[in-house]
Amino acid sequence: MTDKNVYGPWAVVAGGSEGVGAAFADRLADAGINLVLIARKPGPLNETAEKVRAKGVEVRTLELDLLDPGALAAIRAVTDGLEVGLLIFNAGANSYGHEFVTGDLTRVQGVLDLNITAQLALTHHFGALMKERGRGGIMLVGSLSGYLGQAQISVYSAAKAFSRVFAEGLWLELRPHGVHVLELVLGVTRTPAMERAGLRMDLPGLRVAEPDDVAREGLAHLADGPVLVAGGNAAAAQKRSGFPRAELALAAHEASRKMLPPSS
């Protein structure tokens, strides 16, 4: 169980309303850690808050779009009086799938702002406080997409690659100060967002993880940074890191096309 003396008494979960984020909230509540849950959708956010609040922890919610220029100020208004020992950034998403050169650069910028800029802002703020206290943890939820460029999500894949390399450097900077850093790399995970997208998860040989399993794995290995590939996907990550790149990219492209719904 997650040690609240190291990662408590409060945790902030950005993207904490459903799927993996809700699973993190559930497990942290079991450990007696109070929660600040941040998400855009009030329905799932409040539902998750009520569920974990019933376990006896204090829960604060913040309905917020992290692309809002005032997002950090809004988060600080809720958290400045709290001792936050854990930040989980689970808010990054593949929010725009389109060929890059014919796409909308404004929406491309949104992918970068959510997956990189917002992540850096929260990590900078809470990381400095943890360093000063000499304890805490930062978990950045990544993706296997960050190991290989992919058509239609080239910018998202690049953003996830940035996050992984950033986590490695941050881990080196904060480990002398008792602050743990982990990039938790997810493969295909059965989340509400995946289901809404209509992606096929019944393909033969496809490894599909459950949100609670990856949340449990991530929290169990938070002190073992800087990178953990969850859900039994370590071999896939290693393969995607190899050469020649053209062959790997083409093979991954064909495999990903099979997951798309029939109308895509």
| DSSP conformation letters of 200-259 | ----TT---B-HHHHHHHHHHTGGG-SEEE-TT-HHHHHHHTSS-HHHHHHHHHHHHHHH
Instruction: Identify the DSSP state of 189.
Output: B
| pLDDT for the residue 201 | 65
Distance, in Å, from the CA atom of 212 to the CA atom of 194, rounded to the nearest integer, reads 15
* Angle at 9 (CA atoms; ends 135, 190), nearest 5 degrees: 95
> At what angle are helices 154-174 and 105-112 packed, to 10 degrees?
20
User: Which two three-digit tokens encode residue 258?
Assistant: 């099979």
- Alpha helix (H) ranges present in 83-153? 105-112, 118-133
Query: What pLDDT does 197 receive?
Result: 60
pLDDT for the residue numbered 262:
64
Nearest Cα to 10, choosing from 130, 115, 116? 130
Low-confidence ranges of the chain (pLDDT < 70): 95, 192, 194-199, 201, 203, 262-264
- For residues 91 and 143, give the distance between their C-alpha atoms in angstroms, rounded to a whole number: 12
Between the CA of residue 205 and those of 146, 201, 202, what are the distances in Å?
21, 10, 9
CB atoms within 10 A of CB 245: 12
Backbone φ/ψ region at 187: left (φ over 0), alpha (ψ -120 to 50), beta? beta
Which residue segments constitute the domains of the chain, with CATH numbers given?
4-259 (3.40.50.720)
**Which residues carry out catalysis?**
156
pLDDT value at residue 191: 74
